[in-house]
């Protein structure tokens, strides 16, 4: 069965901190994605990766960076956390084959104080 695991369900950090969100998938998927979900805005893509060490910006990359050193792991980094980055963060993965769904983790509720 498909499994995407996010390291924390809830996280509280302070303004200015460097924050790491980790995601691991066990399906040997080529593609991995980071989204944030905010009320009334749906899911917005932050960054994605289609191979190890490869990354592309999504729709809202400002204030974020990512790292993919191994195929199964994709990290989202908030370089200097700000209160407007308080949100639900969702990681997803998908096969590199055409027309395949993305599978999501359970999300990390991040609060920046």
Minimum distance from residue 53 beta carbon to another protein (Å): 16
In 3D, which of 88, 85, 74 has the Cα closest to residue 9? Answer: 88
The verdict on 52 binding another protein (CB under 8 A) reads no
Instruction: For residues 47 and 58, give the distance between their C-alpha atoms in angstroms, rounded to a whole number.
Output: 5
Token reading at 110: 């991040």
Site pattern 16..45 for another protein (x: CB under 8 A):
---------------x-x------xxxxxx
- Residue 16 is given by DSSP the state T
Q: Interface with another protein by CB under 8 A: which residues?
A: 4, 9, 31, 33, 40-45, 48, 50, 56, 58, 90, 92, 94, 96, 99-107, 109
């Amino acid at each position: 069965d498909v499994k995407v695991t996010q390291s924390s369900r809830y996280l509280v950090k302070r303004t200015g901190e460097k924050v790491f969100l980790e995601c691991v998938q066990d399906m040997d998927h080529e593609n991995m994605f980071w989204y944030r979900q905010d009320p009334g805005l749906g899911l917005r893509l932050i960054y994605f990766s289609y191979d190890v060490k490869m990354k592309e910006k999504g729709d809202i990359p400002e204030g974020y960076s990512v790292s993919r050193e191994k195929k199964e792991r994709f990290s989202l980094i908030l370089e200097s956390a700000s209160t407007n980055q308080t949100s639900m963060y969702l990681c997803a993965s998908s096969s590199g084959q055409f027309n395949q769904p993305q599978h999501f983790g359970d999300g990390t509720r991040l609060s920046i104080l």
